[in-house]
Amino acid sequence: MKKITFLIVFALVFSRPLFADDLADVKNIVSKSIVIVIDTIKNKSLDRSTRDKKIIDTVVPFFDFEFMAKVCLGKKHWTEASPEKRDQYLDLFVKRLQESYLEKLDLYTDEEVVVDEAKKEKNRIHVITHLVTKDDKMEMIYKFRETDNGWLVYDIEILGVSIVQTYRSQFSGFLKDKSFDDLLENLKSSDAFKVPTGDK
């Protein structure tokens, strides 16, 4: 079964209560983004570069790449890196995420993405979606936190597997016996650090 994997990211949280409008607004963000992305994929009149740019422009506003990069790297490694190395890491990490996302979209055929519900989880919002084919149904949970820029995705679970935790584990294991420069070099490769897709 071919799958679509959406990007993820972390963001700062506020403590105000959640309201019904928050749930509706966040669910609407997911629904509209999915519709635009799928319609763009199906538009065969677009060349590859135009298609990719439109897709990235659609999803980027809902993700805080810098905070996600910090969380996946871990506080220790982030604080020990120089400002220059941090900037290099952030640029490479964001590029790798976007490339990985676009690669997964190439696998799209005729799957349907159903946005089922948005529910409160303490001061967070989880949007439950399913990727549906005639033979299978895969759950994906978009997890949001509120930020200065509104509600942003900070993680996605695919069949119970957290993308944020997967990256964090991979980076932690890699840096046990390799340098930060080695990590930067590895991130330049298109084969670097894969995110879970739920493929069987």
Helices 163-174 and 65-73: angle between axes, nearest 10 degrees: 50
Number of domains in the chain: 1
Q: Is residue 198 part of a domain?
A: no
pLDDT score recorded for residue 196: 53
pLDDT score recorded for residue 75: 92
3-state SS, residue 116: strand
Low-confidence residues in the chain, pLDDT < 70: 1-20, 190, 192, 194-200
Q: What is the largest CA-CA distance in the chain?
A: 50
Angstrom distances, CA of residue 193 to CA of 80, 81, 111, 145, 183: 22, 20, 26, 25, 10
Does the global pTM surpass 0.75? Answer: yes
Angstrom distances, CA of residue 138 to CA of 17, 43, 117, 194, 198: 31, 25, 15, 19, 8
Counting beta carbons within 10 angstroms of the beta carbon of residue 19, is it exposed (0 to 12), middle (13 to 18) or buried (19 or more)?
Answer: exposed
> Which residues span the domain enclosing 136?
20-187
Q: Is residue 110 part of a domain?
A: yes
Can you give the CATH number for the domain in which 126 is found? 3.10.450.710
pLDDT score recorded for residue 131: 84
pLDDT score recorded for residue 194: 66
pLDDT score recorded for residue 71: 87
In one-letter notation, the amino acid at residue 98 is Q
Q: Is residue 124 part of a domain?
A: yes
